[in-house]
Amino acid sequence: MTPFTGELIGTMILILFGGGVVAGVALNKSKAKSGGWIVITVGWGLAVTLGVYAVGQASGAHLNPAVTIGFATIGNFPWSDVPMYLLAQMIGAILGAVIVYFHYLPHWKETEDPTAKRDVFATTPAIYNPLSNVTSEIIGTFILVLGLLSIGANEFTEGLNPLIVGALIIAIGLSLGGTTGYAINPARDLGPRIAHSFLPIPGKGPSGWKYAWIPVVGPIVGGTFGALFYKQFFLNENSITFWIVGAFVLAILLAAQFSIRKEVAQSNLQIQTAKTTND
């Protein structure tokens, strides 16, 4: 198996199990209907574990453009192979989403909510605020890549690494996933979102392209910063790139804080105006 085929198949497996667990919980007349967030996070953790087990020896099982770019940024992966990996991951994600569609074929027409159908394929924020949403994706992917590099530095009984990586995904989902659905992977969100746009899903509604940039940009920034953070503090290798990216991340965090304060001020003003009018 070539690295390209490995990344394609591994990402396909990731989306098949990950998108599949969301479909089981979200779609009407599924026996897993309303299984809840715990079921979804465990499903995604196992999806990553099984994808890594399947193709780890062939490609290293990045299965995620943010991981590939982050590793390349600190010299753990050749930049010349990055485009091939990203292409394989995108194709695999689209194929995985298409398989999920066919597996749940009779359930789409039984589900009226178009958002529930889209959630099977792509993430949706609990509260829409672009700067806050991209912040969540940065933080989630930062800890993902930092965690992967930290796990890789430890010695486990042979074959256990994928299980530990799966546990990391579950932990991120439980602790940090409630804000945006924790895409933490551009291919995981963009590939299935593309599939949603062309699949003949009854009453599917829009594919949410207004939001689509956030689960792409956020994970790439967060993954890159996570890798640079590991190099800076765990390996004690100083890098000017770390400080540049760190300043960019800090600017996003401050901008997100400002946007929330602005929304609060506007909300308070509306309440005060309404109260004055009623008086």
Within 8 A by CB and 6+ apart from 119, the residues are 22, 26, 181
Label residue 32 exposed, middle or buried (CB < 10 Å: 0-12, 13-18, 19+).
middle
Could you tell me where the DSSP H helices lie in 27-81? Answer: 37-59, 65-73
Structure letter (DSSP) for residue 1: -
Q: What is the pLDDT of residues 112-160, one digit of tens each?
A: 999 999 999 999 999 999 999 999 999 999 999 999 999 988 877 678 8
CA-based nearest residue to 85, from 160, 144, 4: 4
Which whole-number Å values give the CA distances from 63 to 5, 66, 126, 143, 184, in the listed order?
11, 9, 25, 16, 11
Cα gap 28→40, rounded to integer Å: 16
User: Does 269 have pLDDT greater than 70?
Assistant: no
Those residues with Cβ within 8 angstroms of residue 79's Cβ, 6 or more apart along the chain or in another chain: 72
**Tell me, what's the pLDDT at 166?**
97
Task: Give the up-direction half-sphere exposure of residue 24: CA atoms within 13 A in the CB hemisphere.
Answer: 17
Query: Residue 134: what pLDDT?
Result: 98
What confidence score (pLDDT) does residue 157 get? 64
Read off the pLDDT of residues 70-104 as tens digits, 9 standing for 90 and up.
999 999 999 999 999 999 999 999 999 999 999 99
Contact between 189 and 133 (Cβ < 8 Å): no
